[in-house]
Structure 1
Amino acid sequence: MNALLKLAESMRRALEVVALASGWLLVIMACVTTFDVVARKFGLQLPYTKLQELEWHFHAAIFSLWMGYCYTINAHPRVDTFTEMMSYRRRAWIELAGCLALALPYSALVAYYSLDFVAQSYRLGEQSDSTVGLTHRWIIKGVYAAGLWMVVLGVLSVLLRVIVFLFGEKSEREVNLQIGHVITDV
């Protein structure tokens, strides 16, 4: 069980490194957005559509590169009103079922087919008219595909923690399992 926990933690740490490093894209996106807004206010004649496309590229990259890590720290959208009165063990069983029946199959399938999505874009030489943003569409599609594979890693990391919690007789704090609420005093 300790090996599973170490593997889960390795996955979470790798996702954290990618997420925190890609967080710097927020600074760049904020600069581009600020420039776009200020230029409009001063009436400068610029290719605003191209600037907005660049902003969307940054937004897509940030979102994609944070998805997997967010799942591991319980910072993803979830409706907990149904489970808030349940015991933590019961929530873990629901998380296990959800990961195995829904999250893992879906995210793995979408991630698998995303590779073909990127490859087709590359083969077609799909391009954007924007010279400000990324001219080759396969790059941003590749970042999104990488983000989908990171979601798979995030789900696997949580799944391993749930398994160790349920079958390894360890506490939620020992496995750093954050489901249904956020542990704030670790």
Structure 2
Amino acid sequence: MTENEKLTPVPLADAIDNFIKRIGLTIAWTYVVLVLVIMLQVILRKGFASGLIALEELQWHLYSIGVMFGLSYAQTTNSHIRVDLFYSRLRANTKRWIEVISIPTMVLPFVAIIFMQSIDFVAESYRVNEGSEAASGLPYRWIIKGVIPVSFGLLALALISRFIRDLTLIIKGDG
């Protein structure tokens, strides 16, 4: 966020951002569990020549949860990586105009498509009670697939918050 955004409160956007940040900070604990699972898997594999498929799959699941929920957190805190040669040199108001135009025309439609498509993806996985193809793997694969629509819903909420914030600051004439 720019310095002006930190100084200028936008109550609705602030409330949405704080909600997403709380979720993001809670989900971040999955990385602690992930490290512990990795350590256990390494000890089992290297120390006892006996790793578990379920632990390996659990690693993938925990990592994907952190990444998927990290999307909305990164958007909310503006800590995502921008690959742009010019954006960093623009004035704050110009950046806001870019966001106000690009969020509803490019980013939200993409997020909406992923969200809508993932609903059927999760529903089908639930319907067939999908699990791991490995005999000793994790059951209920629909649970991890369910992270997709939830995380993209939060990402949409974060984008709407950003849109509200930038539009409000443009209208107020800040920066």
* TM-score (normalizing by structure 1): 0.82
Equivalent residue in structure 2 for 1:67, among 71, 78, 84: 71
1:127 to 101, 106, 131: 131
Tell me what 1:27 maps to.
Answer: 32
Matched letter for residue 170 of structure 1? D
Structure 1 segments (4+ residues) deviating >4 Å: 129-133
Partner amino acid for 2:14?
E
Query: Quick one: which of 100, 105, 116 aligns to 1:101?
Result: 105
- Residue 44 of structure 1 deviates from its aligned partner by 2.6
- Report whether the alignment pairs 1:141 with 2:164: no
Give RMSD over aligned pairs.
1.9
SS of alignment partner, residue 170 of structure 1: coil
- Match status 1:8 vs 2:13: yes
8 A contact 2:42–2:51 mirrored in 1:
no
**What letter is aligned with 1:50?**
A
Task: Please list the CA deviations of residues 15-65 of structure 1 after superposition, one character each: whole Å capped at 9, or x if unmatched.
Answer: 111111111111110000011122222243232x33221100000111112
CA contact (8 A) 1:60 1:144 kept: no
* Equivalent runs, 1:40-51 vs 2, <5 Å: 40-47=45-52, 49-51=53-55
Q: Distance in 1 between matches of 2:135 and 2:111?
A: 33
Structure 2 unaligned blocks of 5 or more: 1-8
**Aligned partner of residue 42 in structure 1, secondary structure:** helix
* Pair 58,130 (structure 1): closer, same or farther in 2 beyond 3 Å: farther
Deviations 1:123-153 (A, max 9, x none): 1221114577641111001112211111101
1:66 CA drift (Å): 1.9
1:24 maps to a residue whose letter is: W
Deviations 1:61-85 (A, max 9, x none): 1111221121011111212322222
Q: How many residues are treated as equivalent by the alignment? A: 167
2:136 and 2:68 mapped to 1: Cα distance? Answer: 21
| 1:37 aligned onto 2:4 | no
Bigger share in helix: 2
TM-score (norm 2): 0.87
